[in-house]
A and B are shown apart, each in its own frame.
Chain A
Amino acid sequence: MESNLNVPLSPEQRKAKPRRNPFQKEANVAGWLFVSPMVLGFLALLLGPLLLAFYMSLTDWPLLGEPTFVGLDNYRAIFQDEEFWTVVGNTFTFAAGLVPLNIVLALGLALMLARRLPGIGIFRTAIFVPVMTSLIVWAIVWKYLFATDTGFINQILQMFGITGPSWLYNPQLAMPVVIVTSVLKNVGLNMVLFIAALQQVPVQLYEAARIDGAGKARQFILITVPMISPTIFLTTLLTIIGSLKVFGQIYVMTQGGPGNSTKVLVYYIWEKAFKNFEFGYASALAFVLFFIIFVFTLLQWQYRKRWVFHEE
């Protein structure tokens, strides 16, 4: 039965599972004992709640009082909920702004930083430090820098005689501000992954291309991009999934406002569950989020086969 599953096994592992191994019984006992804490924890704290969450999404479940089973009503209500569509739109706007900006900036920085040049460590560190910082601290400081009259950004603008806008109180500007500050927070992580990938591209390929007369741009398109495409794939996927789950910076910087202009899906789930205590509805929303992330993962997985140059 297990052999149908697509888990890659090393040749030694395959050999290690003969039909009648006298040690098989011992291995079964030891193996299950070793994984039992993790598996029990997983059943109680992940799988159990997941199933309960699904049941909750089919009920009307208030903070106090009895839950009542309502079938698919919550899901039906979600699709008629205008706020829901705004929130989904905002979530995709956030992802659509953040992901390309993050990947392009991370790749550009990695290309500059993958070489061994004097002082390169300082730049790498400076760009990576925000990754280490608490998201909340980061969001608080940027909220302050973008303050309307007294913030640093507007003070700088004023030096040039420009009266800056009220960034976070402007429905058109709040989301871009959140996107840019989020990119700055996390770009270092993707950058490090790209640096690692770039350093593994064989130098001979570039030398051969140079002899053939390929310029920098052609080398980049014909050698660099294909060679690091698995990393591009992985970072893009993880950044998309991460951006669909954005919460902390929204909570601190805008609380979903002004209006509903930065209210994203997780913020909406949190609001419904822990402010309004509509647990059933919030659970249904959470499953919609789960479904969206699931679809993205599958799509990426399918597409990967077409454009990723080499797979392990």
Chain B
Amino acid sequence: MKSRSPGRIIGMGMNYFTLSVVSVIMLIPFLWMLSTSLKEPSKIFVFPPELIPSPIRLENYTEVLANTPFHLFYWNSLYIAILVTIGTVMFASIAGYAFARIPFKGRNFVFLLLLSTMMIPNEVTSIPMFLFMRALGFINTHVPLIVLPIFGAGGIFGVFVMRQFFLGIPKELEEAAMIDGCSRWRIYWSIMLPLAKPAIATLTIFTFLTSWNDFYDPLIFLNDRELMTLPLALSLFTDEAGTAWHHLMSASVMATLPLLIVFFFAQKQFIEGVSMTGMKE
């Protein structure tokens, strides 16, 4: 920072003003969601709109929990996201390590093949996948929602991220271990994997987030309400009752809040992870 001329100060003030306006627009949906989730049904559309409702109606939350299998939606979303994340990190790191460090025959060809399919839209393969899963009896189960992301574009993205990371680790570490007679698996498991924590953290957050928010696959593969994940269940709320906004908003708050809390604590790492990998879903 050089001199603080009046021009500079005005410029900074304008920056702050612009940023505040954009931030407020970004936060309106959340404030509105929160506010409506605490309103009495009759007060939702009152004019002029009141931001802080009076009285505050917490029953909107308990009613959603009592009238819908909301705990099931939560549980479905949670355990599917956890399994997808564990599977992705596991298989992607093993394959990423091999692509980075084991000079096996056919390696470049296979890696290129994997990479080139990352561009294929999910929608192209989802139709035969639906028939395939139907033939195996997996429609209306969580199997496709767990297996497909691990080996689909998300998994391949994981392989890519992990490979990049392993390429950057000095080779000497491994060579020393090999001279000592370590197997490839032990080198991977006891030396490389512990070093890969930053890459694993990034991949974990990314994968969990993508799975938690996924909408298209549950829409295709699930029918029963009890099996639904949060995004799908929420989208059905709007269909059947355009009137129950207070319930829909409290459900949305409950679906969003855990992620925002996690984000609040992990934001630095996550934003760094995004810039580090330079990629998105």
Assembly CA distance A11 to B4 (angstroms): 50
Fill in one digit per residue for B110-136: 1 if any A CB lies within 8 Å of its CB, else 0. Answer: 111110010111111111111110000
Given contacts A109-B19, A195-B275, A30 and B121 within 8 Å (CB-CB): no
B-side contacts of A266, CB under 8 Å? 121, 123
Prevailing SS type, chain B contact patch: helix
Q: Is A95 an interface residue (CB 8 A)?
A: no
Interface status of B70 (Cβ within 8 A of chain A): no
Give the Cβ gap from B178 to chain A, nearest Cβ, in Å.
9
Could you tell me if B271 and A192 are in contact, using CB atoms closer than 8 angstroms?
Answer: yes
Whole-angstrom CA separation of A48 from B122 in the bound complex = 13
Q: Assuming A38-B155, A242-B280, is B274 touching A31 (CB within 8 A)? A: no
Q: Which of A68-76, A85-93, A289-297 contacts B (4 or more CB under 8 A)?
A: A289-297
Question: Which B residues touch A134, using CB under 8 A?
Answer: 212-213, 215, 230-231, 234, 255-256, 259
Q: Is the CB of A117 within 8 A of B12?
A: yes
Cβ contacts under 8 Å, A251 to chain B: 215, 219, 235
The CA-CA distance from A84 to B221 in the complex, in Å, is 25
Contact code string B11-46 (vs A, CB < 8 Å = 1, else 0): 010011011101101111110110010000000110
Once the chains bind, are A27 and B215 in contact (CB under 8 Å)?
no
Q: Is the CB of A141 within 8 A of B98?
A: no
Contact A132 B263 (CB under 8 A): yes
Is A50 a contact partner of B125 (Cβ separation < 8 A)?
yes
Cross-chain contact B108 with A42 (CB below 8 angstroms): no
B128 to A248, Cβ gap below 8 A? Answer: no
- For the A-B complex with A130-B29, A150-B45 known, give 19 more contacts whose Cβ atoms are closer than 8 Å: A2-B106, A5-B109, A7-B112, A41-B91, A49-B128, A112-B19, A117-B15, A126-B23, A133-B259, A134-B230, A141-B32, A144-B36, A189-B280, A196-B274, A245-B122, A252-B235, A252-B238, A287-B124, A289-B121
Of residues 170 through 207 on chain B, the ones whose CB sits less than 8 Å from some CB of chain A are 171, 184-185, 188
- On chain A, the residues within 8 Å of B74 by CB distance are none
Chain B residues within an 8 Å CB radius of A122: 23
The number of chain A residues touching the other chain, given as a range, is 35 or more
Q: Known contacts A34-B102, A132-B259, A293-B121: does B109 contact A184 (CB below 8 Å)?
A: no
Q: Which residues of B (62-114) have their CB < 8 Å from a CB of A?
A: 91-92, 94-95, 97-99, 102-114
The smallest C-beta distance from B139 to any residue of chain A, in angstroms, reads 11
The 8 closest A-B pairs by CB, nearest first: A31-B104, A41-B151, A196-B275, A34-B98, A126-B23, A150-B45, A49-B125, A31-B102
Q: List, sorted by A's number, 11 A–B pairs whose CB atoms are closer than 8 Å.
A: A35-B98, A38-B95, A38-B114, A38-B156, A46-B125, A126-B22, A137-B234, A150-B44, A158-B47, A242-B280, A252-B235
The smallest beta-carbon distance between B250 and chain A, in angstroms, is 12
CB of B48 closer than 8 Å to a CB of A = yes
Q: Is the CB of B128 within 8 A of A53?
A: yes
Instruction: Determine whether the beta carbon of B271 is less than 8 Å from that of A279.
Output: no
Which residues of chain B are near A42, meaning CB under 8 Å? 113-114, 117, 151, 156
For A289, the chain B residues whose CB sits under 8 A away are 121, 123-124
In the complex the two chains form, what is the Cα distance from A242 to B153 in whole Å? 14
Given contacts A37-B91, A45-B129, A142-B29, contact A50 B124 (CB under 8 A): yes
Main secondary structure of the interface of A (DSSP, over half): helix
Docked Cα-Cα span, A177 to B122, in Å, equals 26
Number of chain B residues whose Cβ lies closer than 8 Å to a Cβ of chain A: 102
Q: Which of A217-242 contact B (CB under 8 A)?
A: 231, 234, 238, 241-242
Residues of A within 8 A of B167 (CB): 10
Contact A290 B124 (CB under 8 A): yes
- Kindly list chain A residues whose C-beta atoms are within 8 Å of the C-beta of B231: 134-137, 248
Interface centre among B151, B167, B237 (most CB of A within 10 A): B151
- What is the minimal beta-carbon distance from A240 to any residue of chain B, in angstroms? 12
A145 to chain B, nearest CB (A): 6
- Beyond A5-B108, A50-B125, is A30–B98 a contact (Cβ under 8 Å)? yes
**Contact between B94 and A192, CB atoms less than 8 A apart:** no
- Is B23 a contact of A127 with CB atoms below 8 Å? yes
Contact with B along A95-107 (1 / 0, CB 8 A): 0000000000000
Within the complex, the shortest CB–CB distance from B46 to chain A, in Å, comes to 9
Residue B150 interfacial (CB < 8 Å)? yes
Chain A residues lying within 8 Å of B219, measured Cβ to Cβ, are 251, 270, 274
How distant is the Cα of A282 from the Cα of B255 in the complex, in angstroms? 32
- Picked from B109, B119, B159, B234, the residue with its CB within 8 Å of the CB of A136 is B234
- Using a CB-CB cutoff of 8 Å, which residues 29-74 of chain A contact chain B? 29-32, 34-35, 37-39, 41-42, 44-50, 52-53, 56
Contact of B121 among A31, A188, A245 (CB under 8 A): A245
Asked if residues B26 and A130 are in contact (CB atoms below 8 Å), the reply is yes
Pick the contact of B123: A141, A150, A245 (CB < 8 A).
A245
Q: Known contacts A46-B152, A137-B234; decide if A31 and B19 are in contact (CB<8 Å).
A: no
